[in-house]
Amino acid sequence: MALPLCSRCRISLKHISPKPLPLALVLTRSIHLPPSAPRRTLTSATWDPKQPPVMLNDYPQPQRDLEKLPLAVLLRGIIMQSAMSHPLLMDAASAMARKNIHMLTRNALLRFFLDKIFYAQFCAGSTEAEIKNTVSSLKALGYKGVITAYAREVDHSNVTEHSTTAEQQSAHQEHVAQWLQGTLKGIQFANSGDFVALKFTGAGPECVRLLEAGKEPDLVMADAMDKICETAKAQGVRLLFDAEHHVQQAAIDAWTMDLMETYNQNGDLVVYNTYQMYLKESTTTLAKHLERARSGKFALGVKLVRGAYINSDPRHLIHDTKRETNAAYNNAARILATQHLNDPSAPKVGVMLATHNAESIQMMRTLRQEQVQKQQPLAEVAYAQLMGMADELSLSLTQRKNNVDEENIQVYKYTVWGTMDECMMYLLRRADENRDAVDRSLLSQQALWRELRERLFPSSISA
């Protein structure tokens, strides 16, 4: 059967997919996306939270951001993005997976799809060789480094009740030991200058209980935390403590700040805390932590995120609108990047903008370009996106560093490692996130398809 030509770009479907026609049609659907909205130029001076947000398409893209992406990764990205842009399909798959992860991963065909497409897209691997291979291929693309996290999560809905305190204590020690071992392995896989991300709740149910009761870490936990920080410091690896559910967050902040006070001395940045800017209280929390770092004379490590628990955290604690969250995020980023300019006693900060939001990144880049032009000292700022997502954004940032007006932009990719079973909860969250971020997924699809077209028909992309 002759394969039809796409009526708008004249690409024969056989060039796009050797698969049977229905899949090829599904895959090509994404080529023709709505044209970009008119561009609005954003500078740090003109940035105004009351104005309508800059559309994602406004991010000024060079022609071939994805040029360096290996073909297999490009095709895998297209398949993933196409599958994820079907909310009904993703809802059904995610509901099925949540109900019976173990059965799903035992089905050979599904396991093949999950392994070769889904797992490969977002996860670094499970053995040292696989992880190191993924890390070096990411660095070969121009990223400054990687953020790795051990994917194993404790299933808190399935916690065994122990009848005696001794049994409970022994189970707690075992959970913490597993968490410690996994984290130390992650540090060992990382290179100097890389980051390791970790969750306190990964240390088991007793640790969750301590966090939710607002208690200090007990001796078992405190000992593990010290071992992790000391190993990371000795290897030049930095630690990003994740933000989690709001009910645990006050204790996470307190534990992480205590670690910073110990390990971020003399300008060292070993420990970073995460700030969820969708929470109304986060601007105040950040101001208090800056003040504590100033008076305690230690460096403040800040990973800035919008927040991933909007469906479970109490809604009244979260900004009422996305625009308010955006404004809080951009405002915090701006404060962190400028607080040292007029205040000689300002603490040193290390900022990681962990976001796929092009507006926030553009705002920070413009601000720093202005600082470079005025020959002002720059705060330490890096950008991070998840592996398998927003590659066009990450790679476009890595290509900016030759511009004379720009700083050397540091971009990191975040990836988890572990067996497929260990990574399942993380993979499900990625599916949810993609389903909720339709505009951004469309932009990513558009960029991937443009790159494929350019490879099939060089110069088909007009200026």
| Interacting residue ranges for ligand FAD, rule: CB under 6 A | 242-243, 274, 276, 278, 305-310, 318-319, 321-322, 325, 354-357, 384-386, 414, 437, 440
Q: Which is nearer to ligand FAD, 30 or 394 (CB)?
A: 394
Q: How far is the CB of 436 from ligand FAD (least distance, A)?
A: 7
Q: How far is the CB of 323 from ligand FAD (least distance, A)?
A: 8
CB-based contact 192:141 (threshold 8 Å): no
* Least distance CB 108 / ligand FAD (angstroms): 33
Cα 73 from Cα 83, distance rounded (Å)? 15
Nearest to 395 by CA among 135, 142, 195: 142
Nearest approach, Cβ of residue 280 and ligand FAD (Å)? 10
- Sorted by sequence, the CB contacts under 8 Å of residue 421 that are 6+ apart come out as 101, 102, 105
3-state SS class at 457: coil
Least separation in angstroms between residue 42's CB and ligand FAD is: 15
Report which secondary-structure segment, H or E, holds 382: strand 380-386
Reduced to 3 states (helix: H, G, I; strand: E, B; else coil), residue 221 is: helix
CB of 16 to ligand FAD, least distance (A): 28
Whichever of 17 and 273 has its CB closer to ligand FAD, that residue is 273
Q: How far apart are CA 203 and CA 221, in angstroms?
A: 8
As measured in angstroms, the least distance from the Cβ of 163 to ligand FAD is 35
Q: What does the CA dihedral 108, 114, 116, 122 come to, rounded to 10 degrees?
A: -160
Nearer to ligand FAD, 196 or 386 (CB): 386
Compare residues 243 and 337 and give the one whose CB is closer to ligand FAD: 243
Residues 6+ apart with CB under 8 A from 230: none
Which is nearer to ligand FAD, 291 or 436 (by Cβ)? 436
Virtual torsion, Cα 342, 345, 350, 351, nearest 10 deg: -40
Cα-based torsion angle of the residue sequence 186, 304, 258, 299 in order, rounded to the nearest 10 degrees? 100
Residue closer to ligand FAD (CB basis): 82 or 357 = 357
For ligand FAD, which is the closer residue by CB, 321 or 462? 321
**CA angle 432-436-439, nearest 5°?**
135
30 or 282: CB nearest ligand FAD: 282
- Tell me how far, at minimum, the Cβ of 145 lies from ligand FAD, in Å: 12
Alpha-carbon span 28 to 11, nearest angstrom: 9
Whether 175 and 155 have beta carbons less than 8 Å apart is answered as no
The answer to whether 307 and 318 have CB atoms below 8 angstroms apart is: yes
Taking the complex as a whole, how short is the minimal distance between the CB of residue 329 and ligand FAD, in angstroms? 7
User: Which residue in 415, 406, 353 sits closest to 384, CA to CA?
Assistant: 353
CA dihedral over 11, 17, 23, 27, signed as positive or negative: negative
Q: Report d(CA 79, CA 82) in Å as an integer.
A: 5
We find the least distance from the C-beta atom of residue 407 to ligand FAD, in angstroms, to be 20
Which one, 172 or 430, has the nearer CB to ligand FAD?
430
Which residue's CB is nearer to ligand FAD, number 184 or number 308? Answer: 308
**In this structure, are residues 307 and 283 in contact, taking their beta carbons and an 8 Å threshold?**
no
> Looking at beta carbons only, is 364 or 384 nearer to ligand FAD?
384
| Strand partners for 46 | none
Smallest separation (angstroms) from ligand FAD to the CB of 30? 19
**DSSP letter at 320?**
S
Specify burial of residue 95 (Cβ count, 10 A radius: 0-12, 13-18, 19+).
exposed
